[in-house]
Structure 1
Amino acid sequence: MSSTLSTEQLVSGIQSWLLCESPSNYPDGIAAMARIIAGQAEAAGLKVELSAIGPDTGPLLYATNRADGDDRPGILILAHMDTVHPVGTLKDNPVRVEGDRLYGPGSYDMKAGIYLALSALATVARPGDTRLPVDFLVVPDEETGSHASRAHIERYAANAKYALVCEPARANGGKCVTARKGTGMLNLNVKGRPAHAGMNHDKGRSAIREMAHQVLALEAMTDYERGITVSVGTIAGGTVTNTVPAHCRCVVDFRVPDMGAAEDVLRRMRELCAVGPDVELDIDVELNRPPMVKTEAAAALLALVQGYAERAGFLLEDAPMTGGGSDANFTSAMGVPTLDGLGADGDGAHTLHEYILVSTLEQRLKFWELLLKELA
């Protein structure tokens, strides 16, 4: 089986997408990227919908080859068009090919993955071209937690037999992902009592001192053997140096391998108590992505698609559990057999040296074409 596009055509198409900067905090850029993807999908004969999902983010894009009235459970392809790179990144880090590497902001994570999946879907755009109907959902806010798009992801996942996610293949081998840690966030605010640091120090209650105790307690929740990590990422407090600080706040990231660990960490964080007298803690904690746990159904799906990869000319291995979350966490938690990391092969996600491997593009496209035509 030969792919429908040459390496040169794939490189040219991906390069054109990379020239549209679409960071999460730039709705206009995301809207422009959505129009580019929508135009390509419509030209292929897919039915396309663009939906506004909030004032602070870009639109949600949905494309499908479903016939009218076909409500069978199908294949859900998930992707995101937002990147972490601010507008202007292209000025000092232009899109370019150097040897086997195509560099550009958002190339690896994950515009090339979207391009490959959409190019494959274009070959089966008519109803009946695939054994199962295919729904392609591209969200605008994955890099910031998919808060606006989560409900939409779960709505489509409720009618999915399988979920395939275009996040980049793991570096150093192009492996896919069947397990991800769940991700959570704690916002902790400490309220103390202000006082003059020289004349009335004893009457003050330092919020920063209290926060120091809490930071140590939080960091101590990390348990590498259980796969739990807790990291105090930002902290701020006080007003001026000659006043006992009355306020301090921190934001904490935590990662958990399964729901048992998640419930344990959530309980311990909610039960935090003040160490010093006359201070108050305000605790706001949530698990914003449930863990993606490898199930028997996901393992069976992996075994099936590994055959497609072999026919496309490469070995598709399963990566160890990763600490990073994705929208695959949502579909997996709903019981949908999910494979992630099926996008482009490369390296450097979230860095200025992000790239994809040009020599792997045709194989990856063949893989997606086989996936969509034969997965049942």
Structure 2
Amino acid sequence: MADLQNDRFLKALLREPVDRTPVWMMRQAGRYLPEYRATRAQAGSFMDLCRNKELACEVTLQPLERYPLDAAILFSDILTIPDAMGLGLRFAQGEGPVFDKPLRTQADVDKLYVPDMGSDLGYVMDAVSTIRTALNGKVPLIGFSGSPWTLATYMVEGGSSKTFAIIKAMMFDEPKMLHQILDVLADSVIAYLNAQIQAGAQAVQIFDTWGGVLTPRDYNEFSLRYMAKIVDGLIKEYDGRKVPCILFTKGGGQWLEAMADTGADALGLDWTMNIDEARARVGNRVALQGNMDPAVLYASPERIRQEVGSILAAYGKGTGHIFNLGHGIHPEIKPEHAEAFIKAVVELSPQYHS
């Protein structure tokens, strides 16, 4: 593998000095880019795009050809693990993901197993190694997975949900059954992320998209507990370099200290908290990634630049900040507004690292 030419992102995750704040965007390869839409049409379906290593590589690299980003993130989906468990994943027009065989009974849950990372999920590892080779050391590659709780919400509900009625009923009435699901998922995520690291991922992120719908008690028991298990089971160093881990719970601002206790290297922040307050709370225990409201990208380039400046100033001097959005970029965003955002980070952040 080629030597890394830009390790700013990895250094910041480990709170080492950098010349400027590194920047990447969640969903940076996606529908807001016309070139992505063209490749997606060529692939035929979303999962066909994920399963084609050349096309997955192509869309991963597309934003890097436009913008001076400091990391690439594997193009895939958080639902690859439940798909590999045979739950019948499909993407319905206008509905998002749907599982034809949701987990509703003990018999359903007893059939769950940790997928084979070679035969069941080998296409993901093929994509990782293809992307890593194509990057040729330009920037690091991020691997990722959904958190056990977030994956379980889709597997039990049968798709997206606004109320989480079915999984919360299971959580309250049949907690043992839900813990059984979460245990299998935690073991699966450990194997999955470690396989991505061995295939070439240089950092990993756990997306806990739906942890924020839980009470503090239930978040600790049904989400954070399993993410801590994953962090504990991850490969910490590979190929002579540390492999940092980022935890991101959307809506998780009240639990930053408990998240830092897991041993993760960095915490992702959504836009519902002030980054200076988050930094004061966690101190030097973890790096912080975030946290501009993605909707700011609907505004003018001048307003975007102002918002970037205010977040940089709030974080202040020193390392340990990776600039990102507080969640994924919206599909309707103009590519030139994303460019204004990234350019602002590149131009305004060096003063905080002198």
Same fold (TM over 0.5): no
TM-score by length of 1: 0.28
TM-score, normalised to structure 2, is 0.29
- Name whichever structure is richer in strand by fraction: 1
